[in-house]
A and B are shown apart, each in its own frame.
Chain A
Amino acid sequence: MGCERMEELLSPYLEDELTEGERQTVQTHIRTCASCAELLSLMRETKESLSFFPEVDMSESLIGKLYELPQKRKKFRFVTDFLLRPSFQPIMAAVTVLLVFVSFYAFHPERSAINRSIERQFKIGFSKVEKLYAEAESITHTLGEYKDNLFVSIKNLKPFRGNEDEQPNT
């Protein structure tokens, strides 16, 4: 058996996990191969020194931080739960759309052209509103005149004139 195959058997040999036949093979090999015998001895030393590694104590500050973690998580969850609840989603969507428009405006390379366009549209809109307001005033005025005429006509109708012609007997 070659040394490479032997290397695969060294750990199981140390842990007594080989069959009797394999164990005999390893023992025969290491009697004749100084290199594998040395490796086995070093592996035994390595395994032994690892088993003596002590447990290290944690600092008090770390223990304190670990106890605080659930509280931090609760606060974090309260915020995320509040923001992610279904009734809040339309508002979030509206805010997102608004932010998209704001960022489009804020970072557009031709912002001054957009400003001018907005101003122009605003002026056009304002003059339209003024016109509408003036038309509405004239309609109101016309309706007022119609109303007065209507009242006068109604008053002049015979059934509503009453006893105007009759002179009261004194």
Chain B
Amino acid sequence: MLVNAYSKKVFNLAYQFAGSYEEAEDLTQDIFFKLHNSIEKYDFEKNFSAWLLTLARNHLIDQYRKTKWEKKSRDEFNEHLLSADSRSGPEESVMIQENKKIVWEGFNQLSSEIRMAIILRDIQGKKYEEIAEIMDLPLGTIKSRVNRGRLQLAKILKEKKEAENGM
């Protein structure tokens, strides 16, 4: 039941964070193993989804600090994302497609905490209050991190566009 309900959510978080499909598979297994080992500690008065995502977030950031993924390259954007993208509909413009590619590659330049905040807010569409609960941080800190992440990505987008126009 846990696998059916939450595995895709956890896997996507791991994939968006790590940027590697294989790495995300390993991380998802690790997170579910931790989940089975610590399920007895779950407080039934708390939101289970937020609790699980906190577990996932802690594991992802711990692994990031140990292995320093930013030195590794992310999967090619079109390898997995574009295949899943075929369902997203015709409303997406070519510009959005190009921007997505740049933003995907730009994730590695964000710090782990900012990257996590951006993924939860802008990709997964969570409320700031939920993100504050998952990341165990004050609301103001989360808003500030999301803003800084967007600014960094916007600047990366600007540089790439200028480089392309200059060519």
By a beta-carbon cutoff of 8 Å, the part of chain A in contact with chain B is 7-8, 10-12, 38-39, 42-43, 45-59, 62-63, 65-67, 69-70, 73
Contact = CB atoms under 8 A, between A and B. Distances in A.
B23 interface: no
A65 B27 CA distance: 12
Chain A residues touching B, majority SS: helix
Interface in B21-49: 21, 25, 28-29, 32-33, 36-37
Interface of B: 3, 7-8, 11-12, 15-16, 21, 25, 28-29, 32-33, 36-37, 80-81, 84-85, 87-88, 92, 95-96, 99-100, 103-104, 118, 122-123, 125, 143-144, 146-147, 150-151, 153-155, 157-158
A62 B25 contact: yes
A66 B28 contact: yes
Given A39-B154, A45-B157, A48-B96, A58 B36 contact: no
A52 B104 CA distance: 12
B81 A52 contact: no
Contacts of B7: 58, 62-63, 66
Contacts of A8: 144, 147
Contacts of A62: 7, 11, 25, 28-29
B98 to A, nearest CB: 9
8 contacts: A7-B147, A7-B151, A8-B147, A12-B143, A50-B123, A56-B21, A58-B11, A66-B3
